[in-house]
Structure 1
Amino acid sequence: MGKKLRTEEFVIATKKNLFILIGALSVTNLITLSYFLFKEPKQYSYVYLSGKSSNWQIDDYVVSFLPDNHFSFKRGTLTFIGTGDNPLGITTVEFEIYDHNNVNFARGVNFSEEVSNNMKMGEGEGFENNPPSISKIEKWYVIVRWAGKEEKIELNLGPPSLE
């Protein structure tokens, strides 16, 4: 009779501990769930820029507006669309991106010896704490230099025009 009583006490104690454990886990899960459900959502948006000159075209250059008042720029493809020999892979092709204040904030160089129709434009973060407005981004432009030549490409919101 003594062993049977101890076994019943053990089962009762184990059930109590199990209920306490389940209760504690439920409370922590509810706290975690409420954190994700009620936290302030972060705003994130982006715009695509493109542009075209007589020899070059820029597609899918992305400006991302990030939380905490920052912005980044990334991707983008610089493509040779001119007539004659494609300079990519034959000579050095450089590009510089300028903002609405005519300040150069990004650049890239194609050092590849492989002939290609296009090059990626790289990525980075804006140095301003206040991201530029759309009206300022519409004033951005790119200077492309190759083989002693230079062209300016005005950047526009959205995909390139299909002229």
Structure 2
Amino acid sequence: MRIESLSRRDVGTWNCHDGTNPLLKTCSIEGYAVRQSPTPAPPSPDSDCINIPKTFHLQTLCKGFQEDPNVNITIRVANNSYSFTSDQYKENDEVELDDAPTGGELECSVTGPAAQCYTPSKPNKTKICPGPPVPTMAIVIIALLILIIIICLLVDCIFCRPGGRGAGYVSHQSSREPAE
């Protein structure tokens, strides 16, 4: 006997007769444990959206995926779908997108032969923030540049002005000659 496809309703014990042999054949079909589909990373506590960098790890965007070799994980980022194997998820492979998404939604789901063993999680979407976050390093560099400018101005005020008159002081000497 060959069973080409099964569903959850087929779980149980089946009795079969082939018509020529009076012996009753039994076959037991066991069900798979139903798993929860992966969920997208939640927004940060002080925001209602998530920032997705250009380069990320699968496990940082989709949580709770049970490693199953018969299932691929699909990440939908701002209407672009990316499919990954369970091995890539398990190894926490790094993924690089062409551009960091700015807006849209992040959604995680499973596809493949065992996908019917997963139930969709609710809610399964997270809003993507509309603009890229300002990198922390850029803020530090800007702050240092401002500090350097302030220090240069202070040094100019204290050390470079003759007689405390300021850098813009021009000595005016009288060009009048005594009358004869």
Q: TM-score, normalised by structure 1?
A: 0.35
Based on CA coordinates, which of the two structures has the bigger radius of gyration? 2
User: Which one has a larger percent strand, Structure 1 or Structure 2?
Assistant: 1
